[in-house]
Amino acid sequence: MSPAELPPWLWFYAAAVLVIPARGPVRGLIALSAPVLSALLLTGVEPGIYFNLHILDYELILFRADRLSLLFVYLFHVAAFIAILYSLRVRDTLQQTAGLLYAGSAIGAVLAGDLLTLFLFWELLAITSVFLIWARRTPRAIASGQRYLIIQLLSGLLLLAGALFQWHDTGSLAFDYVGLDGAAGWLIFLAFGIKCGFPLMHNWITDAYPEATATGAVFLAAFTTKVAIYALARGFPGETPLVYIGALMTCFPIFYAVIENDLRRVLAYSMINQLGFMVCAIGVGTTLALNGAVAHAFTDVIFKGLLFMSMGAVLQMTGRINGSELGGLYKTMPKTATLCIVGAASISAFPLFSGFVSKSMIMSAVLQENYQLIWLVLLFASAGVFHHAGIKIPYFAFFARDSGIRTGEPPVNMLAAMAVAALGCISIGLYPALLYDLLPWPPDYTPYDVSHVLAQLQLLFFSALAFVWLNLQGLYPPELRAINLDADWIYRRLGPGLARAIVRISGNCTDAIAIRIRHLCGRWLALGQRRFDSDTLKTLRTTSTMLICVALLLVVFVVFSGP
């Protein structure tokens, strides 16, 4: 077997092990070598199955390449290289190891040819990424990471349950089209939906990403949600519910992002907004729509990474990230401000920037399939993202006021990583064929025609005019020191409140009631013992013992499988 036939994620895992004892520049060279070496080996890979394992009577497909999976593999190599370059000066072994393992797990997930292999990498994504949140080592980061891990493991549990149902129903665990015809499909759909940030399942993004380290957030922005987009594109293309779910995802984050003070949390809401465009396109399911979804995933990783890097640089150099505390930084951080504006123009889909050549495909596909109302919703969402990401992020960080903060530019490696991402945004915008030639299905689309360009310029012009007018009139929501909750109010406020109420009520129970309850429980237990014969009771005791042993083994696995 040649090195090119080995799964690419092996090189990331190997680098993660090697960076632990390394020190100084050697550690950075080892980390950067992983995406570079793996990308070079991928240049000659053609569609096919390259690596599998036979365990008992089952085949694990660890390296299944086709045009859809290869596009995401290329994307994750680019994202890993940029994120590693950005974090070169970090002297935290935990972050560097977790970042490499996390990137490798994302690549493993998109190359998985069966649901069991997908589940294994799905869980590794959760276990490795949480350390990028905990690495900040603040009480809020620790608590946020715990909530993040619980939700991510729940997604994995749903995926495993769906895979078992799929195996029972079809006798196969192949990861291809799944659909929503049975229990297996719905369980897997919910598992993908959690990681993709479906409405009411999205709060882990806005809760955890802003609490990560400056460099950890760049890794987080690139992989987990895009793995979910890949999984939806492979397993559920053309499922109509996705059209409406995606449309809702594009809209509701706008209102929270406008009132949010933490600029990295604004970007987290913006991420959900952009994921909504991709989900909606996957639901439309035509060739143009699916190409638009994966193309927008590609461009989103680069321009969203650029925005997270620019805000990470601000946090690194000033120690602040709230819009109410920033402003005037363009005087001392002009390079960072310029690169941030490139990212803002890209996410706003300005012509000649990357977001335009991918988002316009989605808008055209939605209109071609006669989803006129959905098209209007997406049009409104496009205007909204220009407000909260295209204008608000650079304006309040660099231009809104003179905060009096005087600092310098971030280290050279951080500027270099942002420059690479900015170059990608501009290159794809100027030469869409760089991206279109990688798409899974041959594209028949021209982004730069008169109608597309004029419509987008008009939308951006009137959105900018509305922002200026609202700001001058004092009607634009001010940047306030506050914690804004949306659906996470259910488990961060309502849940604890109900728990406290139950404890308080139960504490008021009289001893007589408690004695009565114990007496009834004793009677039910005695009745059960009379109804079951001794053999049945032995079987139940054996089964419970087995379940306890399995639970203990799972705990041991979770504890020792982490980095």
pLDDT at residue 101, rounded to an integer: 96
pLDDT at residue 146, rounded to an integer: 92
> Which of 464, 338, 312 lies closest to 392, judged by CA?
464
Q: What pLDDT band is residue 52 in, cutting at 50, 70 and 90?
A: confident
Contact status, residue 240 vs residue 189, Cβ threshold 8 Å: no
User: Helix or strand or coil: residue 60?
Assistant: strand
Q: What pLDDT band is residue 469 in, cutting at 50, 70 and 90?
A: confident
pLDDT tens digits, residue range 294-318? 999 999 999 999 999 999 999 999 9
| Pairing label, strands 58-65, 48-55 | antiparallel
pLDDT > 80? residue 22:
yes
3-state secondary structure 517-538: HHHHHHHHHHHHHHHCCHHHHH
Spatial separation of the C-alpha atoms in residues 134 and 555, rounded to whole Å: 20
Backbone dihedral region of 197: left (phi > 0), alpha (psi from -120 to 50 degrees) or beta?
left
With a pLDDT cut of 70, the percent of the chain lying above it is 87
Spatial separation of the C-alpha atoms in residues 249 and 193, rounded to whole Å: 11
Pick the residue with more confidence: 461 or 166? Answer: 166
3-state secondary structure 137-177: CCHHHHHHHHHHHHHHHHHHHHHHHHHHHHHHHHCCCECCC
Q: What pLDDT band is residue 511 in, cutting at 50, 70 and 90?
A: low
pLDDT > 80? residue 194:
yes
pTM (2 decimals)? 0.87
Residue 310 CB partners (closer than 8 Å, separation 6+) = 336, 337, 339, 340, 343, 393, 397, 418
Spatial separation of the C-alpha atoms in residues 324 and 322, rounded to whole Å: 5
pLDDT tens digits, residue range 516-553? 666 665 665 555 444 434 443 343 344 344 434 444 44
pLDDT tens digits, residue range 107-123? 999 999 999 999 999 99
pLDDT at residue 58, rounded to an integer: 77
Q: What pLDDT band is residue 389 in, cutting at 50, 70 and 90?
A: confident
Rounded mean pLDDT of 371-399?
90
pLDDT > 70? residue 19:
yes
CB atoms within 10 A of CB 74: 14
pLDDT tens digits, residue range 74-93? 999 999 999 999 999 888 89
Spatial separation of the C-alpha atoms in residues 45 and 30, rounded to whole Å: 23
User: Helix or strand or coil: residue 49?
Assistant: strand
